[in-house]
Structure 1
Amino acid sequence: MADEVHAVADQAEAAPAQVALAWLLAKGEDMAPIPGTKRVSRVEENTAADRLVLSADQLARLDNLPQTVGERFQEEYGRPIEN
């Protein structure tokens, strides 16, 4: 999945995070992704996603990615997180 997001990002000349945010924003006006960050540079990068227009082909590629399932492990908390 990450490889496909990176491929779309390379094609769009954008960061993978920008592609993810632009994809969510393309889902409709009722979508409001709220990315977290600690750095001003990342806030600026994330904000720029609003200006990124993905093509119909790029959106389809992202829409057709397999859905994630299972557990993620956050080592700092010492326990799995349910998706």
Structure 2
Amino acid sequence: MTGERTLAALQPGYSLFSREVEAELLPTCRELGITLGAYSPIGRALLAGGITTDTAFGGDDLRSGNPRFSAANRAANLALVDRLRALADELGVTPAQLALAWLLARGAVPIPGTTSLRHLADNAAATAITLTPEQLGQITDLIPADAVQGERLSPSAARWVGK
């Protein structure tokens, strides 16, 4: 052994709401055959469509201190989710399924957290969705990367990952 190691997978945060990896990391992974496991692919449940402006997060919930979930940012981000929900309704799927199918079509392997068997089944159903190139473009256009409000991580979490 020469001391070289093969990198098999990376697990960055990646979703319709967190697209920083698209510039360099995702193309590099594709080029080198490295699996990109998308952490938080439903944006800490924001893209699932169940969070509202009235949703209260307990003090032990990571979202309570997350800038993306502040009152002002959440309202703006929920407007983006509403766009996704409209297309999901047209396609007969949930917003979460559409967000996961978009990632799968882009070559990422989503790693959604789940709190129930119903969510697990819902998430797994995304693997059966085949999106056309037009639909992929439409989804990307519905939620432009620069339209999402608030940082993905709280300041304390950002320090843990060196940001």
Question: What TM bracket, shorter-length normalisation?
Answer: 0.7 to 0.9
Instruction: Provide the rounded CA distance (Å) in 1 between the counterparts of 2:139 and 2:154.
Output: 24
Deviations 1:17-54 (A, max 9, x none): 000000000002xx111111110011011001000112
Residues 3-82 of structure 1 aligned to structure 2 (within 5 Å):
3-28=82-107, 31-64=108-141, 65-67=143-145, 68-71=148-151, 81=154
Cα separation, 1, equivalents of 2:122 and 2:88: 13
Write the letter of the residue equivalent to 1:33.
P
Fraction of identical pairs, as percent: 41
Partner of 1:76: none
Q: How many residues align?
A: 74
1:2 corresponds to 2:81: yes
The offset of 1:71, in angstroms, is 3.3
**Shift in Å at residue 69 of structure 1?**
4.4
Unaligned 5+ residue runs, structure 2? Answer: 1-79, 159-163
TM-score (structure 1 length as normaliser): 0.76
Q: Which runs of 4+ in 1 moved over 6 A?
A: none
User: Which amino acid in the other structure matches residue 123 of structure 2?
Assistant: N
Distance (Å, rounded) in 1 between the aligned partners of 2:92 and 2:110: 21
- What RMSD in Å do the two structures reach over aligned CA positions? 2.0
TM-score (norm 2): 0.41
3-state secondary structure, aligned to 1:32: strand
Partners in 2 of 1:59 and 1:16 — Cα distance?
14
Counterpart-to-counterpart distance in 2, 1:32 and 1:13: 22
The structure with the largest alpha-carbon Rg is 2
Q: Which runs of 5+ in 1 are unaligned?
A: 73-79
Whole-Å Cα distance in 1 between the matches of residues 133 and 151 of structure 2?
Answer: 31
